[in-house]
Amino acid sequence: MYTDFQSYLQTTLKEIEEAGLYKNERVIVSPQRAAIKVSTGKDVLNFCANNYLGLSDNQELIDAAKKALDERGFGMSSVRFICGTQDLHKELEQKIAEFFGTEDTILYAACFDANGGVFEPLFTEEDAIISDALNHASIIDGVRLCKAKRYRYSNANMEELEECLKQAQAQRYRVIVTDGVFSMDGNVCPLDKIHALAEKYNAMVMVDESHSAGVVGQTGRGTTELHNLRGKIEIITGTLGKAFGGAIGGFTTGKKEIIAMLRQRSRPYLFSNSIPPMVAAAGCAMFDMMARTNELQDKLHANTEYFVAQMKAAGFDIKPTQSAICAVMLYDAKLSQQMAEKLLDEGIYVVGFYYPVVPKDQARIRVQISAGHEREHLDKAIAAFTKIGKELGVIK
């Protein structure tokens, strides 16, 4: 049997490669941070991590993790409800709820699991899930696991959302689901309008704050801060794997009855391991830091503003952004690859995105700004973009 299957896989892999879609992994041999070393020995500046607050190598978090490692051991060897709950897990859940202004929180191994396990326990074939077309893969998969009737509106299109809501009036309960920040353009969901439509058509709202938590809003509390909707959204999901230290872990936070039901019925929670104590402890230290100071958010916002302004001044076409994602539009797929390669030669690590990850003829380089970037890092990137941009005829 395997001989046949093997040649099928080999053929398919070759097709992926020939289509130019094969994903190669660049090997990093330093901690994750602004200035990294890759396995070729080259030192590069990293502009493609989700390390928005620069916390991936933060000493305070490392110390908290080390302390927990010494005091609480390495792993839990259990799911939460058998013997996998430490006070650290409960503490972290409380701190997440305080951060977002919600009632309670449930932890998962990753936000992929939070999204995978949120719909099926709450909604049945009598209900409706209304989803933005650009929502994250984990939301799409989570919706697939649930029998609710599905509606889809194109990205941030409020007329289409309203149409879906009208059609969904026949269902028992309705929930509108959206990413907080869409990762390819860096645009923030119009949560104020979504919330207003939800009120008008008697629906609930779920926001995935994975790319927005720590980033969006003056104090990084996410899209509910930006749109003055703190405490008004029923379900928020998010990750500890991006701005919040970048290790591992996800969560759902929101109305307490929803969280209680998830603890009873959510399959990735019931049938998958607890996060390790060191991750919970570092998470607690991280949220304490967020409560204590806004330094990192302020720096991130200043960095993003500076980078976007300078890149625009240099003549680049930048998508409007309210996040730390800055899409440098090139439109041509090949050009985006070429430019990313040449930038790497200049010591700037960025990635080109093209169809099918973004729509056809919408190729771009996605730059992710971090509070870990110093002004000199940003200046070096801007200079490299300008040099290569001129070389390739992207700017004059």
Ligand X SMILES: *Cc1c(COP(=O)(O)O)cnc(C)c1O
Catalytic residues: 183, 211, 242
Judged by CB under 6 A, does residue 112 bind ligand X?
Answer: yes
Q: Which residue type is seen at 59?
A: Q
Q: Give the binding range for ligand X (CB under 6 A) out of 104-112, 147-155, 221-229, 374-382.
A: 104-112
Contact set for ligand X, span 180-199 (CB under 6 A): 183
Judged by CB under 6 A, does residue 266 bind ligand X?
Answer: no
Q: Which residue type is seen at 90?
A: K
Classified as helix, coil or strand, 295 is helix
Identify whether the C-beta of residue 109 lies closer than 8 Å to the C-beta of residue 268.
Answer: yes
Q: What single DSSP character describes residue 273?
A: P
Residue placing its CB nearer to ligand X in the complex, 239 or 272: 239
Count Cα atoms within 13 angstroms, Cβ side, for 339: 33
Nearest approach, Cβ of residue 259 and ligand X (Å): 18
Judged by CB under 6 A, does residue 179 bind ligand X?
Answer: yes
Of 185, 208, 225, 234, the residue at the interface with ligand X (CB under 6 A) is 208
Residue placing its CB nearer to ligand X in the complex, 104 or 208: 208
Q: Which helix (H) or strand (E) holds 365?
A: strand 363-368
Of 58, 171, 178, 210, the residue at the interface with ligand X (CB under 6 A) is 210
Q: Which helix (H) or strand (E) holds 311?
A: helix 295-313
Peptide bond into 320 cis (omega under 30): no
Measure the CA–CA gap between 238 and 215, rounded to whole angstroms.
Answer: 12
| Cross-strand bridge partners of residue 177 | 131, 206
Contact set for ligand X, span 240-259 (CB under 6 A): 241, 250
Judged by CB under 6 A, does residue 277 bind ligand X?
Answer: no
Binding string to ligand X for residues 123 to 162, with x set by CB under 6 A, is what?
-------------x-x------------------------
Phi then psi for 230, rounded to 5 degrees? -55, 130
Nearest approach, Cβ of residue 248 and ligand X (Å): 7
> What is the crossing angle of helices 158-167 and 191-200, to 10°?
20
Nearest approach, Cβ of residue 75 and ligand X (Å): 18
The pair of structure tokens assigned to 319 is 């998508």
Residues that contact ligand X, how many (by CB under 6 A): 14
Which residues contribute to the site for ligand X (CB under 6 A)?
110-112, 115, 136, 138, 179, 183, 208, 210-211, 239, 241, 250
